[in-house]
Amino acid sequence: MRPLNIAVLGATGSIGRQTLDVIDRNPERFKLFGLTEGVRSANRKVEYTISGQSGVGDFDARVEAMVTDARCDLVVVAIPGARALGPTLAALRAGKEVALATKEVLVMAGALVMKAAGARGIRPVDSEHSAIWQCLWGEELENVRRLVITSSGGPFWAHPDMDLDQVTVEQALNHPRWSMGPKVTVDSATLMNKGLEAIEAHHLYRMPLGRISVCIHPQSVVHSLVEFVDGSFKAQLGRPDMRLPIAVALAYPDRLPDAVPQTSIKELSGLEFYDLDERRFPSVGLARRAAAEGGGNPAVLNAANEEAVNAFLAGEIAFSRIVPIVEEALGAFPGGGESLEEILEADRWARGWIRENFGTVRRA
């Protein structure tokens, strides 16, 4: 059988580079077919190399041509934010397999994206969703009581006395367990990442939000759990290394030998679990409310958060302002439907509203 032709969107990023690593180490199974890069270069000779620095229209058209190319089998989506939505929909509508890292795509337009995916579904790359996916293999969804998404708690959970007004960018980017891009690392510090992941899981596994919970698990060994109606739990465990969920997504339904170094059983000991303190970290509750409201609200949540995180990274607002700004944007949103146009309009509205009301907040 010929190797799977893979296109990687965001090949120079944290997920993108680790995906290239998995592809490179398995040349008999995978072939890098095409890629997009941003300000950095991936330095690869492939069928398509598309620069994120080209104009938006040109970038979108070229990415669409790549992901719908008859020779392309699988598309890995790892460009952060709203920019990944169009290419994901194009790939799914062309019948391609999609391995999705960019959770924002499902947060903004989960219903549309899952409809485009149809029975084929989407291969999750996020470690939590990969864990849930693996726990669900061979199970009936009607036998699931709830999904439990684990969180390391980020850099501030273990410091309850820390004044979140004083947090520096450097402190927020210092994640205790995972090495990731800046946007998702700040989302891990506010725990908005878990709010976005709850919405992502709701769409991926067609699970009501009320049956998805978040718990703190500082060791990041259990990547998430599924509880079944009979009282059993299934969990997926492993070292915090994104190459594992990437390998699972690329090789499905097979498994790649030695995708990551073997873990000793001692590394899996001393596991702790705590309830999430929703008063200190209100982001998960906010995300749930936005998803329950539906329409353009999740897109507003996502866009306002992206703008606020960028403003924090640029030193323009305090860390503790990120989530309240998102809440204010949701409160001001006049509402809107769930068509692609309306979702993109909600995204534009949120960015415009933030620029108008918090003048110093810069473009993403």
Ligand X SMILES: NC(=O)c1ccc[n+]([C@@H]2O[C@H](COP(=O)([O-])OP(=O)(O)OC[C@H]3O[C@@H](n4cnc5c(N)ncnc54)[C@H](OP(=O)(O)O)[C@@H]3O)[C@@H](O)[C@H]2O)c1
* List of residues contacting ligand X (CB under 6 A): 10-16, 36-40, 52, 78-80, 83, 101-104, 126, 178, 180-181, 184, 242
Least Å from the CB of residue 192 to ligand X: 10
Given the complex with ligand X, which of 237 and 332 has the nearer CB atom?
A: 237
d(CA 288, CA 144): 20
| 294, two tokens | 């539906």
Q: Which is nearer to ligand X, 41 or 143 (CB)?
A: 41
Rounded CA separation 344/336 (Å): 10
Least distance to ligand X from the beta carbon of 150, Å?
Answer: 13
Q: CA 198, CA 121: separation in Å to the nearest integer? A: 17
Task: From residue 322, give the alpha-carbon distance in Å to each of 181, 245, 254, 301.
Answer: 18, 29, 41, 11
Q: Which residues contact 228 (CB under 8 A, 6 or more apart)?
A: 139, 143, 144, 145, 234
Q: How many residues does the chain have?
A: 364
How many CB atoms within 10 Å of residue 191?
Answer: 27
Q: Quote the least distance from Cβ 40 to ligand X, whole Å.
A: 3
Judged by beta carbon, residue 54 or residue 320, the one nearer ligand X is 54
Nearer to ligand X, 12 or 283 (CB): 12
- Alpha helices by DSSP H, listed for the chain, are 14-24, 56-68, 85-93, 103-117, 127-136, 169-172, 182-190, 192-204, 243-251, 283-293, 297-313, 322-332, 340-357
Q: Tell me whether residue 96 or residue 183 sits nearer to ligand X (CB atom).
A: 183
How far apart CA 202 and CA 189 sit, in angstroms, is: 22
Minimum distance from residue 228 beta carbon to ligand X (Å): 26
Q: Output the smallest distance, CB 84 to ligand X, in A.
A: 7
What is the Cα–Cα distance from 312 to 31, expressed in whole angstroms?
Answer: 39
Question: What is the closest distance, in whole angstroms, from the C-beta atom of residue 119 to ligand X in the complex?
Answer: 24
CB of 359 to ligand X, least distance (A): 23
Q: How large is the C-alpha radius of gyration of the chain?
A: 20
Residue closer to ligand X, measured from CB, 240 or 295? 240
| C-alpha 344, offset from chain centre | 18
- We find the least distance from the C-beta atom of residue 45 to ligand X, in angstroms, to be 17
The residue (of 79 and 172) whose beta carbon lies closer to ligand X is 79
Nearer to ligand X, 76 or 317 (CB): 76
**What CA–CA distance (Å, rounded) separates 124 from 15?**
12
